[in-house]
Amino acid sequence: MPLLRPPTRALGHLKPSIRRHRAAKRHIRTLSTAPVPTSQLQPHVEGIPLSMRALYGKKTHKRIKAIPSPPSAHNICPTPLATITASQLSVLDPTGARTRLFAKTNPDAAKVGDVLLVRFRSGDPFAGVCLNIRRRGVDTAVLLRGNLTRVGVEMWVKVYSPNVEGVEVVQRRERRARRARLYYLRQPKHDIGSVENLVRQYNRRKAILGTADAKTASATAGKKKSKKNRKL
């Protein structure tokens, strides 16, 4: 019978095998398998290249060494800036007088609007109305405005500077200034002008009273002076 097959169906013998394959595929498609626990799973060795088969199942990676985190600086010094400021102030202002003079908590502290006199180690003293106090720890500075030879001069002075010998209150403002920065005193309308007379009076008074109680004297004298000025 095979001889009777027409020669045009030369590929006919493929058909049964294709049919078989299709049936198998159909079978696989509808196949349902029960889940196998992972412990029973065998290693799939066939998929691994021959060269790597020896390594299979062994732990090849090294344990990563865990480096303990460095000790926190916070435990050693919780407030480093405050500590540094304090240590610097202990050198620059051992008595704490200047800290007190510009402390916010001190009711007798120098305030804006007061006439301050700054004595320098090198050079002449400078006096002027305090326009602004910049409280920044060791960098605390005051802005003084004065008149020298009829020219307005403004000067920021670092309070804790080693060049500053002393800061004295020549005259206190009669009433508390209602602003933190008295920049309006730069306007000609509000300009106080020269404080030379006030400083001269203050120096004379200080010379009479003596240097020992000059600090307290300046406070009281300032008040007296201010009253006088008001009358004038």
Per-residue contact track with another protein, 178 to 197, x per CB under 8 A? --------x-----------
Compute the distance between CA of residue 134 and CA of residue 156 in angstroms, rounded to an integer. Answer: 9
Residue 79 found at the interface with another protein (CB under 8 A):
no
Residue 156 found at the interface with another protein (CB under 8 A):
yes
| Residue partners of 20: CB distance under 8 A and separation at least 6 | none
Tell me the residue length of the chain.
232
* Residue 153 or 180 having the CB closest to another protein: 153
Stretch that binds another protein, among 16-24, 35-43, 65-73, 154-162 (CB under 8 A): 154-162
Give the one residue of 85, 93, 119, 152 binding another protein; rule: CB under 8 A: 152
CA-nearest of 115, 121, 126, 222 to 163 is: 121
Stretch that binds another protein, among 30-38, 59-67, 98-106, 158-166 (CB under 8 A): 158-166
* Residue 145 or 172 having the CB closest to another protein: 145
Alpha carbon distances (Å) from 178 to 109, 173, 181: 16, 11, 9
Residue 12 backbone class (left: φ over 0; alpha: ψ -120 to 50; beta: rest): alpha
Which residue ranges make up the site for another protein (CB under 8 A)?
123-124, 126, 139, 141, 148-158, 161, 163, 186
